[in-house]
Amino acid sequence: MQSSEVQLRLIVSNVPDEAVAATIARALVDERLAACVNVLGACRSVYRWHGAVETADEITLLVKTTRARHDDCVRRLAALHPYDVPEIVTLAPEQVWPAYARWAADETSAVDR
């Protein structure tokens, strides 16, 4: 279902709070690095950090971009992210509705159409 010319990428990242989530989401969309960023509700993360098990309340971001804009999007996300080791996980879906993939490509292009 995904066009060979438009390959969507989904980047998952957790951030510490809603203010950071809003800042990152707005920057990525404003800069056309992402077509859309979903800011999900709070989640509880349990992880090992420096030898100890930690917990934190975080906000999950789902960043929709294209293969063509992926590397720039990841670099910008990492630069904006406040964590020493930000969670930046990219998924390459096998199937994406073609109209959605085309929309994402249009919204991440350098110029308005």
User: Which residues, at least 6 apart from 65, have a Cβ–Cβ distance to it below 8 Å?
Assistant: 8, 9, 11, 28, 33, 34, 35, 73, 104, 108
**Alpha carbons within 13 A on the beta-carbon side of 39:** 14
pTM of the entire structure? 0.91
Q: Where are the beta strands (DSSP E) in 36-100?
A: 36-49, 52-66, 89-91
> Any idea which residue has 């420096």 for tokens?
50
Confidence of residue 110 (pLDDT cuts 50, 70, 90): confident
| Residue pLDDT, tens place only, 41-66 | 999 999 999 999 999 999 999 999 99
Domains and CATH numbers, the chain: 8-107 (3.30.70.120)
The Cα 74–Cα 11 span in angstroms is: 8
Sheet strands side by side (includes 36-49) = 36-49, 52-66, 8-15, 89-91
